[in-house]
Amino acid sequence: MSAVTLQVQLGARTYEIVIGDGLLNDISNIIQGSVDAQIVVVSNILVYPLYGVPLEAALRKAGMRVFSIVLPDGEVNKDWPTLDKIFDSLLENACDRKTMLIALGGGVIGDMVGFAAAIYQRGIPFIQIPTTLLAQVDSSVGGKTAINHRLGKNMVGAFYQPRRVVIDIATLASLPEREYRSGLAEIIKYGVALDADFYNWIEQNIDLLLQREPAALMYAIRRSCEIKASVVGDDEYETKGGRALLNFGHTFGHAIESALGYGVWLHGEAVASGMVMATNFSCAMGRIDLKTTERIIDVIKRTGLPLRPPDIPADVMLMHMSRDKKNENGDIHLILLDAIGASSLDGTVKRDAIHNYLANLPNINQ
Ligand code: NAD
Ligand code: GLY
């Protein structure tokens, strides 16, 4: 299977997303043009032994200067103390502003390393090498970087684009099933919120995706990255409305993650249940019909991802939703559906209506 190269068009900061099977075997050639200084691979205790050790060896063999920083694993460690470990190590090794960070891991590593790159010595370059499905289809592209705050998910961060994204689908072979399915949620999101043709394709190919069939996987990753690249190219800083649509299901989903405690539900699990809530809410508001609603919920159901949120009181959900970054002037802004593939940002929904919906969620069989 040959590699595919896409571009995120951002003027002088335009960068490539390279997608292929086995790309890490050729990593020094792929990144050669982007690196002329010290490389620092930042990974975690789980991913580093699998892909970091051979990556470091390959870069060294190609004559590059490289060392690694190995962080603890998990969403619960996407925080200041862990971020600070990156700065400790960069400073102990006298890393200057030409240092290139490589984020090797899932979305937690990607978001955290991106943020470290954004603020270390006021900004150094970084490359994303995502190793989870979720990171390959979403978080590694587009330059949203962040850590969590105890009062809210991804609340401290920066927009900061990588120099390149290298997606090797071979790394998915070691990904646990639960994590893999979590990534499917973000793929479904693109179809439901933005692209009806892609949604139809997902509906027809969901079983192949569940089997990790390479051609289906390659297409789903490529199409997701194409959609994301196009949205980010048009609305990098989420000021024009387009990029916010990538947050379909996330207002509810982030509230679930924050309310439960980070890492209890996976991001994709919270997003799946959040998409069901946003879909049902769109239906309750008369924006989409019942047949469309059932079609969307059925695809999510086939992935085995949660359809119902965990037991969180409506008041608590609403409090967390009130801290969402899309909100303005105290109003909660939701992404709602007008059809499959057509979503919009709505800031006019009254809190009472959201509370009432959360307190009386429709009964859905898992
Ligand atoms: P994650 O980074 O925690 O990775 C999931 C688990 O899989 C971890 O235990 C990780 O160590 C392990 N892992 C990673 N690659 C592996 C591999 N190839 N084989 C075996 N195990 C592997 O979680 P995630 O789902 O990748 O990312 C979730 C994070 O991404 C959340 O913090 C979310 O907020 C963020 N996110 C960011 C954006 C963005 O635009 N920046 C978009 C979506 C999600
Ligand atoms: N994951 C949403 C965004 O990048 O905007």
- Given a cut of 70, is residue 237 above it in pLDDT? yes
Averaged pLDDT, 330-338:
92
Q: Look at ligand 2, atom 2, and give the residue with the nearest C-alpha.
A: 246
Options 16, 75, 236, 238, the catalytic residue: 238
Active site residue 355: no
CA of 223 to the centre of ligand 2 (A): 15
Note the pLDDT tens digit of each residue in 111-160: 999 999 999 999 999 999 999 999 999 999 999 999 999 988 899 999 99
Averaged pLDDT, 205-215:
97
The continuous run of DSSP H or E covering 207 comes out as helix 196-210
CA distances from 43 to 88, 104, 114, 135, 208 (A): 15, 5, 12, 14, 30
Note the pLDDT tens digit of each residue in 315-333: 999 999 998 888 888 888 9
Lowest mean pLDDT among 272-281, 325-334, 345-354: 325-334
Please indicate whether residue 153, judged by its CB atom, sits closer than 6 Å to ligand 2: no
Pairing, β 144-149 against β 152-159: antiparallel
User: With contact defined as beta carbons under 8 Å apart, do 119 and 156 qualify?
Assistant: no
Dihedral (CA of 334, 337, 340, 341) sign: negative
- Given a cut of 70, is residue 191 above it in pLDDT? yes
Options 61, 122, 150, 291, the catalytic residue: 122
Please indicate whether residue 142, judged by its CB atom, sits closer than 6 Å to ligand 1: yes
CA of 238 to the centre of ligand 2 (A): 9
User: With contact defined as beta carbons under 8 Å apart, do 167 and 134 qualify?
Assistant: no
Active site residue 60: no
Q: What atom of ligand 2 comes closest to residue 139's alpha carbon?
A: 1
Token pair of 144, please?
């949203």
Token pair of 108, please?
């937690």
Averaged pLDDT, 65-72:
97
The mean pLDDT of the chain is 95
Options 164, 223, 267, 333, the catalytic residue: 267
Averaged pLDDT, 204-215:
97
Active site residue 238: yes
